[in-house]
Structures are given as C-alpha cells and as structure tokens.
Structure 1
Amino acid sequence: MKSFWKNTALILVPLLSLAGTALAQASYNLLSPDKRLEVRIRTGERFQYDVLFKGTALLQNSSFSIDIDHTTLGLQPKVKTTKERSYDGILEPPVRQKFAKVRENYNELRLTMDGNYAVVFRAYNEGVAYRLETSLPQAEVKVYGEESSFNFAGDYRVYYPQEESFFSHNERHYLPVNLNTIAPSAIASLPAVVEAANGVKVAVAEADIEDYPGLWLRGTSNNGLAATFPPYPLKETLEKDRDFKVTQAADYIAVTRGTRSYPWRLLGIAEKDGDLITNQLVWLLAKPSQVQDTSWIKPGKVAWDWWNALNIDGVDFKSGVNTQTYKYFIDFAAKYGIPYIILDEGWYKLGNVLEVVPEVNMEELSAYAKQKNVGIILWMVWKTLDDQFDPAFDEFQKWGVKGLKIDFMQRDDQKLINFYFKTSREAAKRHMLVDFHGGQSQITMTRTWPNMISGEGVRGLEWSKWSAETEPQHNITLPFTRMFLGPMDFTPGAMLNATKKDFAPIFDRPMSLGTRCHQLGMYVVFESPLQMLSDSPSNYLREPEIMEFLAPVPSVWDDTKVLDARMAEYALVARRSGKDWYVGAMTNWTARDLEVDFSFLPAGIFWLEAYQDGVNADRVASDYKKTRTQVTRDTKLKISLAPGGGWAGRIHQ
C-alpha cells in the first residue's frame, strides 16, 4: 500500500500542566492523494484537527464530540489502534448529474478508540471529511448533542444562508458576510461557503445522513462556525393543510441504534471558483445506491403547470385544473419529446390524495398520457401522503404514475429524514421518481436513492411570482453554493423576461428578472436530472426557435468542464451528452465579455447554434439573436453578455 500518512507521535509524550500531568497527546497527519491537502489530527483533552492547503492553514483547532446517553465520546480520547487505507476507483452513476464516470480517490485514517467508537478521516483531492462510528452495547441510544466546530484561520468572508428557524423551506439568499459578524443565535442551512486564504473556497456540508437530523450551522464570533441540530419532535400540530409544526421538542436530537455510522462532516475545497461546480464530494461520501435495478429511472425534462398558472390560449375550452388543459400539456410534451408533465396543486382535494377533484379524470388522463408516451408526475403535501401512505401508493401505481413531487416538509429533524428514506424506498419499489420540494437535506441522498431525481431547497423561479428576489445576482451565486449539495430544482424557462425597470411580480402571469438568454443558460449551468419547463406551453409554441434549443438540451451529462467562473459574478460551463456539447453562460447585473475556448472539442468541424443577448437586451430583456456557425477545437469565440444576461449554445456535427 502506498504510504500516505505519518504518525508523528507513535510514542506518546506526556504534556505537563500546572495541575500535573495532562492527558498524553498523539498527532496524525493525513494527506490527499495529490498531497495538496493535509489534515493534522490531535488527541489530548479532546479531538482537534487542522486543515492545510498547499501548506497554508485553512482551519485550525477545529473539534468534535458526541453526547450519547449522557456520555461524551471525543473528550479525553484514547486511541487503541490505527488503520490506514487508500482507494482509487471509477464509479458509474445511474443518474449522470455531472459525469458518466466519477473517480473516487482518497486516503483514509481510522482511529479505533477506547469506549466502543471510532473516528474515520478521509482526504480527497476535492476536500476532507470525518465521521464517527459507534459499536455500543445498547441496542438503542439517545443522542443529546453533537459538537462540531469549523474554526478558520481568519475572519474570512462566508456565503451564509441564514434562516429564521428550523422550520423552513431552505430557500435562502447566500449573502457574503464576515465570520465574526455571525451571532451564535444566527442559524443557517447548508452549505456555507467560506472564502479562505489565497481565495481558496471551503464549502461546509454533510453526507450520508440517515436516521439522524440534518446539520445546521451557527456563528461562534471567533473565526468559525459550529454545528447545531433540530431537536427530536415530541408533539406536532398541523396548521392549515400543510404546515406540520413541532410544538414540543425533546432535549435530545435522535433516538437511534447503538451500533451505526454517523453522517460525514465534510469540507469541499476549491482552489478555483469553478471547482465548486464540478466537486462531487457530497455524492461520493453518500451511501451507495439502495436501488438494485435502476434501468427504469429515466431523467428528462418536465412541463410544469403551476408557475404559469395553467394559462394557455388559442383553445376552445376554459383553461385550469381540468382534463382538457392537462391533455394540452401532454400534447405539447409529446410534440417536443418531453418525457413528463406535472399535475401540481389542485388535482386532489387537499387533505385526501385519494379524492381527485371532479374536473380531472385521472383514468382518462393516464390512458392519454400513456398513448402519447408521456409520464405523469403528481404533486402532493408530504403529510397527506404520509397519512395515506399505502393506499396512496397503490392508487398511484394503478394510475400508472411515473413520479411524485412531494412538498412542504419544511423540516429535517430525525422524523423527517426517516420520511425521506421511507418514501424513496417505497417509490423505488413502485418504479416511481421522487422530487422533494419544501426542504433541502434530502438532496444529499441522491446517490443512495437515485430515483430521488431532483429536489428543491432553493430560492427558485417561483419567487418571481410574488417578489423581485430571484434575480441574476442571486441566480449566479447558486452554482457555487446550493448546487454544491446536489441537483436543484430551480425551475427555469421563463419566456416573459424583464429588466429591473420593467419587472413586476404578477402571480398569474409571471415574468423573470434578467434576459431570455439568462434563462437559456440555466439549462446548462444549473443541474437537475428532472429539469422543468416552467412557462406555459402556449408561450413555448410561440417560440419555435427557442424550442430548437430547449427540446434537445439534456438534463444529465457525460462530462462537465467549467471554462471560466467567478463566485457570484459569472459562470461559463460546457457539458457533453453523447457526442453533442452544450455551453451555457450566466452573469449578474454586470455586463461582460467572455471568451469561449473550444479546445474541449475533439478533432473535426462542428456546427454551433448559439443564442446570445440581443443588442437591446439591456432595455428589452427578451431580445436575443440566434446564430449558426462552424467551429473547431482551435476556435476562440468572444461572447457579450448584457446586464443580467446569458448565452447558450449547442454544438453538434
């Protein structure tokens, strides 16, 4: 085995204190395969570790422990044995979010401790992670708390998705603030992305969460962030038809098995901003697929009804939640080879997913969709599904439903994490996709449950129906922050586009902030194996030139290359599906010129069909120009992006 670690204190040296002899301290160093990352681990009064990149400290004196049945594992730790190993292999994801083949390459150090537990550290080229493992004699234990600190080497800037409470959709802005301005009471969902020394970015996140609450963060006012967790719910109350709130919480965070592995606490590390977009550490650290046969899982685009308020025109029937309108959506999907449509809120009587509203004939729709080779995905409130779990799944299967869009969880305490697992498992048995909205932690589970095809936990396009908060500055921050966790169902595709001056939030006739090409660029820059077409089919049918791009653009990718990117400013990304390449660009409110270097292409001559901001896109945001030209791997093309603009291109032979 290749040597990758060194024990710097095989002979434990006692440290003296005024009170006498303190606990002996041992130190261990763990290097990434490329040796650029180093983790320095110490045991003494507690576990502590440092993280260095190219010899420069990123984190210092970070610590961790866990309180199980009022015994704290990690205080005064005593190492019994150490074991090191390396791994270098190729994985082939059943759902290709970024790559058809993913290299997993890490060095690992396992410390087995007195007290029936172990600590495992891993160093990848893309980041570092640790987890706790227990083999306790108790069959069941209570976890009263987990301490995990991320102490940085300075008062760095951090993109911090601050929350009001643990009850949240996790649809946040990632606003840059300094670490020491974050109060201990200011909690945040994941990830927090820190701009550390020399511009290196550090994304704080987790992976392989099961039967345990989700990780949240809080400030420390001392160059750091610390873990916090939603407590275990004792009493819950349903408000209205969808908000199932915790009204009484326990003084512990989990009731779980005495023998188990706890979630990974991870730091994704990127020397270049664009490396955050291709980093797959969360996916790599997740449990492998629990779905044995994944051949039935079909990613693709989906025509969505809710954002456009079912507004269609040029027909001889009243549009709305009814069979005729959904047949229109099915016809549109079939015309352009779009594999799915969604029936969002309105198809069932709220509180009972088994009671379809009289305006919708589900059997007729199912038969029509099957005839047209279009799958139906049904929206529902999670609590209603949970209450009617088995009969609901039986009915969905009878209808031939291909997927479920489950909404309004707004929690990731242990009970909700277990709901994600239960539902994804049952859906997989029935060959159904799952798209969880109204929450975020589940998106770290897509390797474990590949039928969990996408998910929300993002301030997406829907916000433009009631506010101006989904705008280009926010949009271009997402690839470097929220998308680090996994796919995000942002729901792009607006055909009515507006400048700052022209924008108005109109719930039933919504528009987007930024240019038409800003929207098109999202289909390449943003990742979602179930990618929405959010606007009305009528609007798309009026835009056949736009559909020449939106119809063929894939939702999964064989290769991804970030050509140029700067955190929260712009991104230029190339992705390949089969032999075709797609390039997307997005910018914030700053107009800019970028250069597309086509050296990623193989030898040969290719056609480039490009969509660029029109010369008047700064005044009329829907203004664009389509061009068709030939390119080779030697081509370098200057592109101009308007304020809030974008660019999109398809490259094929």
Structure 2
Amino acid sequence: MARQLLAICGLALLSPAALAEELKSPNGQLTLNFDLQAGGVPTYRLTYKGRDVIKASKLGLELKGTTSLQSGFAQTDKQTRSFDETWQPVWGEAKTIRNHYNELAVTLTQAETQRTIRVRFRVFDDGLGFRYEFPRQPKLDYFTIKEERTQFALAGDHKAFWLPGDYDTQEYSTVTSKLSEVRGKMKAAVTPNASQTTFSPTGLQTPLMLKSQDGLYINIHEAALIDYSCMHLDLDDKNMVLESHLTPDAVGDKGLIQTPANSPWRTVIVSDKAGDILLSKLVLNLNEPTKFKDVSWIKPVKYVGVWWEMITGKSTWSYTNMDNIKLDSVDYQKVKPNGTHAANTAHVKEYIDFAAQHGFDAVLVEGWNTGWEDWFGKHKDYVFDFVTPYPDFDVAELSRYAATKGVKIIMHHETSGSVRNYERHLDEAFQFMNKYGYNAVKTGYVGDIVPLGHHHYDQWVNNHYQYVLEKAADYKIMVNGHEAVRPTGLARTYPNLIGNEAARGTEYESFGGNNADHTTILPFTRLIGGPMDYTPGIFQTKVSAYNPQNTSFVHSTLARQLALYVTMYSPLQMAADLPETYNKHLDAFQFIKDVAVDWDDTKVLEAEPGDYITYARKAKGKSSWFVGSTCDENGRTSKIDLSFLEPGKKYVATIYADSKGAHYQYNPQAYQIRKLNVTSKTKLTQLCAPGGGYAISLIEAGR
C-alpha cells in the first residue's frame, strides 16, 4: 500500500539570502543543492557521502525567436514533500519495487518576461531525477526550443563507457576511455550504419556510464521521454562539463512545446558499488503508473524465429532476386522464386514444431510480406502494406497450424523508416494481426527516416513510436521496437512495450562481431532504461557454417550465450540459433528451456563495468533461481556464495560452464555440464574463459 508523507510550504517572492535550497535523500547519503547565481541563473549540485558527483551546474533552455529561459530568474515559490510507495510491475526483475524519494519543486519567475517555469527535483537513495515544468500561462503558451542547456559538471576526468552521439543510431561499439580521450577516439568509434548522423567530436549518447578515480559509479540518462526530443550530451573536455544536446527535427528545431508541459526527467544514478547501478529502479520510478486497467493480455515471451538464418546470409527475406524493381509492376504469382526465401509455409511449420516440442511460446517470422526487393536505401514513402504475404506464405494455414500446437506467431513490421506510411496502414495491419491470432509485433525502422530530414530520435518521430505503442494497446498487441529510440522506463506506463533494440545486438556478430566486453557493459548503459531484445543463444559461433562467404564469428563462448539469458534482462527472450544446431547440443539447450523470463527477485553477486557481471534471479512464483556470469576478453575466476538461497533448503545446481581451454575465438564450443547439491551455505568457484561465462540453474530438491 502506498504511503505518502506530504510537507508543503508555499512562499512569496524570496529574498536573495533565502534562495539556496538543500534536499537530502531518504537515507541522507545524497544531497541536492539548488541556487540562483548572479544574474538569476539557476544551478544545482549533487554530492554523495560528501563527495562531489555533479558540481555546480547551470539549468535552463534556449528558445527560438524570443527571450531564453536561462537567466533573470527570481524564486517565487517552493514546495517540498516526501513520498514512499511499493508497486508491482506487470513484468520485471523484481516482484515489487519501492519508490521512495524526497522532492523539491522550485518555481522561478523571469522578471523581464513574467514567464514562470518550475524545476522539480526528486532525490532517491540511489540518485537524482529532475525536470522542467511549464505551467499554463499567458506569457508562455507556445514556444520552440532552440537547445536545452542543462549541464552536468563533473568532478574529474572520469573513466567513461561511451557511444558516439548520433541522431539516428545507437548501434556502435562502446568505447572505454577517459573523458579527455573522447575527442581523439571519436573518428574510429563512428562505424558505418544504415542511418547515422553524428553531431560533435565530443558528442555522447545516454545512458552514459562513468567511474571516478576515487571509485564513484555514475550513470546519466533520462526518464519518461514523451513528446520531447531525445537527449544526448556534448562534452566540454577542457572543463569536464557535459551539456544536454537535443535531437533536431527536419528544420533544425529541438522541440515544439505547448503549455502546460513537462520535459523528460534528467537522471543521475550514483553509488560506490557497481552492483547498485544495475539494481537501480530510479528510471522506472520516474515514469507514471500503467495506463492500462487490464494487463492480462501482456505476458513475457520466450521465442524462436526465422531470423538468424537471414542475418547470416544462409537465407533471404526476399521472395525473388529481382533487385531494383518497381513493385507495382510485379506479379509475384508469375515470377520465379529464388529458392532461398526462408518465410515459406513448410519451413515456418518446422519452427513451430520445434517451439512446441521444447515449450516455447512463439515463433518470429521475418520476410513474410511483399516488398523486400524494393526498399533498402531508396527513401520510398510507400513500400510495405503489412498485410500482403508472399505466395509461399499461407497466413491462414500457419495461423491454424500454430494454434493446434499452442504456439503464437510474432508479426514483423519493417517500416523502411517510412513512419507516415506505417501510420496510414496501422489500423488495418493490427486488425489483420487480430484476425490471425498474432498478439505481438516486432517493428523495424532500418534506414533514414522518411520524410527525409527527420531523425530517429527527434520529437516528431518519438511521438510516432508512442502513437504505435498506444494504438497497439487498443488491439491488445505487445510491441518489440527495433531501430527506435532507446528506452527511458516507459514500459512501466505502457507495459505492452516488452522489448527494444536500440543498441548493437547479436545480429552484429554476423556483421563483423561485437567486442568481447560488450555484454559486460550493456547492463550498465543501454539496459538502464529498459530491457533489450538482444537475441542471445547462438551455439554455432562460426557464421561460415551457415554461409561460407561470411567469415564473422560470435565473440562469445557457448557457455556465455547461456549466461546472457540471466545477465541481459528482458521479458522477451529469443533462442536465436537454428533448430538443427540446438538439436546437436540438447544438453546445453536445456538451460534455455528452463530459464525464466520473469522474475520475483534479482541479486548482483559481482560486477565491474567492462570486466564482468554475475547476476542471480529468482523465477516468478517459483523457488528456482538462475545465475548468469559474463566476462571480458581476459577471462577470470568467479567466486560467489549462494547465501541468497532460502536457508534450510537443498537445491540441485546444474552448472553450464566453459571447459578448460575454452576461448571465445579459438575454442568457443568447449563447455561442460555438472550437477551438485547445494544450500545457502555453499560457496562456488568457477572458471570464466576469455569472452566466456557460465550459467547455473538452482532447483529446489524434490521439485
């Protein structure tokens, strides 16, 4: 039951001596200071256990064509309160989440314009959230943001885990360096992508993970990104100050705002323990409770799919090899198929049979609909209609067949970046899904946004993603968004958002490979805002086994691929490899079958960004626990204790681990499986090979 403790204090115009405000976290370890500097410039500062996290930093917005909201302010009101509640997510890493903070809302009035804004701060035990609020008022009813000027002044040249700032993609490899080294490493960090727009030699993405020289872990991100442009960070590398940099729209504007309105929350998570960053629910807590009264149709999903074989080049999305054609001139009933089209009725039935045999919920099918020959890189407004299948894909028959097996089919909508075209077809496409029993869709936005000039992360396109999400809810459809904006905790409010990509996923293992430390960093960065559809479970790590022309390899041991089901949290988990490969390793595949996708409890047993992570998670509504550990290219020995298990009970531990001599590059399929009886008093030591890891299932004895 929620408990609210309110202490509200309204003030008239305050004297300059009274302008400084202080707000502490509930446990007293974090302190937020707000002040107006000379000239009426609003600033804030954040300390943790007396150590600077964010030094005095400016707040405000630069407006287009009018006086900006950066200076000339007087404080005209303040309100404080404390809030404490416990809520239950529809799905998640824990059965319950505590939302406990102290709040300060400062009202500022600009003497020159008589405009008023409010800055609302919430200090949690694990960090700070703050946002700008624009009340309805005669002097500020509609305005255009030229740039948001929020600063994060850092206390030193921190170690950073960063991605190049880009308006259109986050699909870069993370660079680990000091902030002072960003400029020199930026050019090499910007690798090719289907759509990309970098903006600065020191521009960075959020979530940005930092570690200070004195051992503070700091994460900067945003929460509740609605009707606003996505925030990046521009680094002043002489003074170690990060400043917000919003994604522009097609004419260069950063936001069109009509009051009353709020910005997203700007978030700073901080601790002297790395595991606390991973366990933080601050971003979720800054989002509103769910908008849905009925959530019974939203369910976590474990799935297989017709996908990896196309990613590797073994098969194709296209029905024909007729490139550079104009689709309205093609009669698919008369053209010759290419013989490599994967989304055909007989082949999809094989996936459905495999899913049913092993207890999976669903099968994703990509390349089922017409249009794949005529879209990539062409910037066409109208390519896909999302309802017309290729001749070899029998929608009605597959729907019937899947139903007899107790398996769902996951729809795939590649929009080709044409957001207007997708919206014009959306109702018909969702009605089509309802008709044939599809309850989840994977959306895609590969390539540049059409209309040209817009970006994947600008306000207008973010509003499109939100429109799709809310429209899907009208049809009781779950959404897994790829190439969309990175998540900001909106899945609390709209829990039908069960998956996002917004980072380099497993597909890049077929495009040259992800760094071996990749999955030791993503939980500290990309996953701070919400789960990722990472698509793990690749057992055949040599891509050439499927496509002799592709020499890429998966930068992971087989054992670590199992660990990712625990370390890379998602309520939507794919067994991404081909059924014939899993049939060769059914002993290891058993872990994928057993592991849960929804959790009652989560523990971080070991963690250091870029080096290693070990999680333990308790399955929803069960006594079973699952452990996953992933490490970088150096390998390590993991030492954990099982004190999280219920005292007095015995468990059977099945350990899936790297064998001696395993190596992500030279010997990736070397694994061993062993069983032993354990209790809460047991301590384990386990080898993690270079680029490796391990997975453990802990089942209560007798169950």
Give the alignment's TM-score, normalised by structure 2: 0.83
* Map of 2:266 onto structure 1: 265
Question: Is the CA contact (8 Å cut-off) linking 1:559 and 1:575 kept in structure 2?
Answer: yes
**What SS class does the counterpart of residue 489 from structure 2 fall into?**
helix
User: Which one-letter code corresponds to 1:38 in the other structure?
Assistant: T
Aligned: 1:530 with 2:572: yes
2:401 to 363, 368, 376: 368
Question: Is the CA contact (8 Å cut-off) linking 1:349 and 1:355 kept in structure 2?
Answer: no
1:381 to 414, 427, 439: 414
* Map of 1:400 onto structure 2: 437
**What SS class does the counterpart of residue 534 from structure 1 fall into?**
coil
* Map of 1:635 onto structure 2: 682
Aligned: 1:332 with 2:338: no
Shift of 1:507: 7.3
Aligned: 1:41 with 2:34: yes
1:226 to 233, 236, 243: 243
User: Which one-letter code corresponds to 2:105 in the other structure?
Assistant: R
Question: Is the CA contact (8 Å cut-off) linking 2:352 and 2:405 kept in structure 1?
Answer: yes
**What SS class does the counterpart of residue 519 from structure 2 fall into?**
helix
* Map of 2:178 onto structure 1: 178
Shift of 1:5: 12
Question: Is the CA contact (8 Å cut-off) linking 1:495 and 1:511 kept in structure 2?
Answer: no
* Map of 1:208 onto structure 2: 224
Aligned: 1:80 with 2:76: yes
User: Which one-letter code corresponds to 1:494 in the other structure?
Assistant: I
More strand by share: 1
Question: Is the CA contact (8 Å cut-off) linking 1:48 and 1:61 kept in structure 2?
Answer: yes
Aligned in 2, Cα 1:507/1:448: closer, same or farther, shift over 3 Å?
farther
Shift of 1:369: 1.2
Pairing 1:55-74 to 2, within 5 Å after superposition: 55-68=50-63, 70-74=66-70
Aligned in 2, Cα 1:99/1:457: closer, same or farther, shift over 3 Å?
same
* Map of 2:376 onto structure 1: none
Aligned in 2, Cα 1:545/1:264: closer, same or farther, shift over 3 Å?
same
Aligned in 2, Cα 1:62/1:507: closer, same or farther, shift over 3 Å?
farther
**What SS class does the counterpart of residue 289 from structure 2 fall into?**
coil
User: Which one-letter code corresponds to 2:85 in the other structure?
Assistant: G
Question: Is the CA contact (8 Å cut-off) linking 1:471 and 1:514 kept in structure 2?
Answer: no
Q: Distance in 1 between matches of 2:548 and 2:530?
A: 30
Q: Distance in 2 between matches of 1:587 and 1:633?
A: 24
* Map of 2:91 onto structure 1: 95
User: Which one-letter code corresponds to 1:389 in the other structure?
Assistant: L
* Map of 1:322 onto structure 2: 344
Shift of 1:534: 0.7
Greater displacement, 63-72 / 363-372: 63-72
**What SS class does the counterpart of residue 60 from structure 2 fall into?**
strand
* Map of 1:146 onto structure 2: 148
Shift of 1:68: 4.5
**What SS class does the counterpart of residue 445 from structure 1 fall into?**
coil
User: Which one-letter code corresponds to 1:300 in the other structure?
Assistant: V
Q: Identity of paired residues, percent? A: 27
Shift of 1:2: 7.4
Aligned: 1:563 with 2:596: no
* Map of 1:426 onto structure 2: 471
Structure 1 runs (4+) greater than 6 angstroms displaced: 1-7, 502-510
* Map of 1:199 onto structure 2: 215
Shift of 1:560: 0.5
Question: Is the CA contact (8 Å cut-off) linking 1:420 and 1:442 kept in structure 2?
Answer: no
Pairing 1:588-599 to 2, within 5 Å after superposition: 588-599=632-643
* Map of 1:240 onto structure 2: none
Question: Is the CA contact (8 Å cut-off) linking 1:110 and 1:121 kept in structure 2?
Answer: yes
User: Which one-letter code corresponds to 1:421 in the other structure?
Assistant: Q
Shift of 1:562: 0.5
1:348 to 370, 382, 398: 370
Question: Is the CA contact (8 Å cut-off) linking 2:255 and 2:459 kept in structure 1?
Answer: yes
Shift of 1:646: 0.6
Q: Distance in 1 between matches of 2:549 and 2:207?
A: 30
* Map of 1:473 onto structure 2: 517
**What SS class does the counterpart of residue 581 from structure 2 fall into?**
helix
Greater displacement, 348-357 / 134-143: 134-143
Unmatched 5+ residue regions in structure 1?
15-24, 234-248
Shift of 1:498: 5.9
Aligned: 1:650 with 2:697: yes
Question: Is the CA contact (8 Å cut-off) linking 1:191 and 1:481 kept in structure 2?
Answer: yes
Greater displacement, 82-91 / 283-292: 283-292
Greater displacement, 100-109 / 273-282: 273-282
Q: Distance in 1 between matches of 2:491 and 2:484?
A: 14
1:390 to 422, 427, 443: 427
* Map of 1:512 onto structure 2: 554
Greater displacement, 587-596 / 343-352: 343-352
Aligned in 2, Cα 1:185/1:624: closer, same or farther, shift over 3 Å?
closer
Question: Is the CA contact (8 Å cut-off) linking 2:563 and 2:629 kept in structure 1?
Answer: yes
**What SS class does the counterpart of residue 85 from structure 1 fall into?**
strand
Shift of 1:127: 0.6
* Map of 1:20 onto structure 2: none
Greater displacement, 375-384 / 640-649: 375-384
**What SS class does the counterpart of residue 72 from structure 1 fall into?**
coil
Question: Is the CA contact (8 Å cut-off) linking 2:164 and 2:203 kept in structure 1?
Answer: yes
Q: Distance in 2 between matches of 1:120 and 1:395?
A: 44
Give the alignment's TM-score, normalised by structure 1: 0.89
1:435 to 477, 480, 489: 480
- How many pairs are equivalent? 616
Aligned in 2, Cα 1:171/1:159: closer, same or farther, shift over 3 Å?
same
**What SS class does the counterpart of residue 364 from structure 1 fall into?**
helix
Q: Distance in 2 between matches of 1:453 and 1:506?
A: 35
Q: Distance in 2 between matches of 1:612 and 1:378?
A: 35
**What SS class does the counterpart of residue 73 from structure 2 fall into?**
coil
Question: Is the CA contact (8 Å cut-off) linking 2:414 and 2:443 kept in structure 1?
Answer: yes
Deviations 1:400-422 (A, max 9, x none): 21111111266110111111111
Shift of 1:366: 1.1
**What SS class does the counterpart of residue 23 from structure 2 fall into?**
strand
